[in-house]
Amino acid sequence: MKRIILFVLTNVLVVAVLGIVASLLGVNRYLTANGLNLGALLGFALIMGFGGAIISLLISKPMAKWTSGVRVINQPANADEAWIVNTVQKLAEKAGIGMPEVGIFEGDPNAFATGAFKNSALVAVSTGLLQGMTHEEIEAVIAHEVAHVANGDMVTMTLIQGVMNTFVVFLSRVIGYAVDSFLRKGDSESSGPGIGYMVTTLVLDIVLGFAAAMVVAWFSRHREFRADAGAAQLMGRRQPMINALARLGGMHPGELPKSVAAFGIAGGIGQLFSTHPPIEDRISALQNAQA
């Protein structure tokens, strides 16, 4: 439940901050004496929706380092770290992307990739993953994360989130205006948004925010199959990725912060809010593609 709440509220908070700033600057003047200006509202919703998503994308790498406690390997301290860096470099070259930063973080088995641009991403693996898998399985997991970067999944997720944010901001305010107009029907002396508008938009921002999170999570689940297939292609065969998923299915996957949860190798067990499909479905997809 904590992960679901973070998934929704982090994005809502970014949009809320932008809304406060817009109000202070007088940008959100879509409520006029003549009623609701839909064109102005749509422009406001686009700025709010994509602004929040883009800001989240741009700060994704430093936030991931901070929230996950990632230690970036600037200079390998031992043979294992050298192997990890060399593996990422080899796979990045195969994928045709720039060398990502490579990091390690303490925790149960997991890994993630993040960053605003393909050629300046971050790939990080947990100590639990390194201790619980063979080198071939770890390489498959890293290939999965590199495939996320090569597929441009961070940018795609930003666009999807931006569209969903825009939908939430626009629709909640249209409905809020309608409710407010109904409650204040016949009150010719009042002007500006009333309590009906404020309460309705606040409630709908939360309710529609959850609905939008479900859509984003659905897209994320479908994207995982593509990253699995990309890992198999980078490895030259599917069995290492199948083995890695099977191994991971017998482990207790670590929780990742919301900012990078969608880009990890394993997700939560939630249904509609889960960013990852079940391990069995991912293995089945690889096996069927192999046949």
Give the number of C-alpha atoms closer than 13 A to the C-alpha of residue 179, restricted to the C-beta side.
17
Q: Which residues of 198-229 are buried (b: 16+ CB within 10 A; e: fewer)?
A: eebbeebbeebbbebbbebbebbbebbeebbb
**Cα–Cα distances in angstroms (integers) from residue 239 to residues 3, 136, 207, in the given order:** 31, 10, 42
The annotation places the binding site at 144, 148, 224
Q: What is the DSSP string of 83-99?
A: HHHHHHHHHHHHHT-PP
Which residue is catalytic, options 139, 145, 255, 280?
145
Q: Is 137 a catalytic residue?
A: no
Q: Is the dihedral of CA 58, 1, 211, 201 positive or negative?
A: negative
Strands (E), 127-276: none
Paired with 36 in beta bridges are: 31
Catalytic positions are: 145
